[in-house]
Amino acid sequence: MYTDEDLNQAIEKKVFSPESVEAFRNMVSSSNGSPAVDEENFRLVGGFNDIFIVIACALLLFSSLWVVDLRK
């Protein structure tokens, strides 16, 4: 992402005109409400390997509960 300082230096070095930088800033500020392209979609179980992880976690949970109940 470009900072305001980067854009101001580009104006000073005459890489961009002040009008084009202002138009760019307006375009970016108007599009900030839209979702980003690289936004991550979170899924708890995303593939077949994750099923084994879920099964292992469930076995660990139930076995630890079983051990805790036996000690009481």
Q: Quick one: pLDDT at residue 19? A: 93
- What mean pLDDT comes out for the span 33-61? 78
- What mean pLDDT comes out for the span 21-43? 73
Long-range Cβ pairs for the range 43-48 (8 Å, 24+): none
CA angle, corner 25, sides to 19 and 30, nearest 5?
125
CA 12 to chain centre: 34
Amino acid identity of residue 20, one-letter, is: S
- What mean pLDDT comes out for the span 41-55? 81
Least confident of 8-17, 21-30, 32-41, 47-56: 32-41
Residues whose CB is less than 8 angstroms from the CB of residue 50 and which lie 6 or more positions away in sequence, other chains included: 44
Mean of the per-residue pLDDT values of the chain: 82
CA dihedral 24, 27, 30, 32 (to 10 degrees): -70
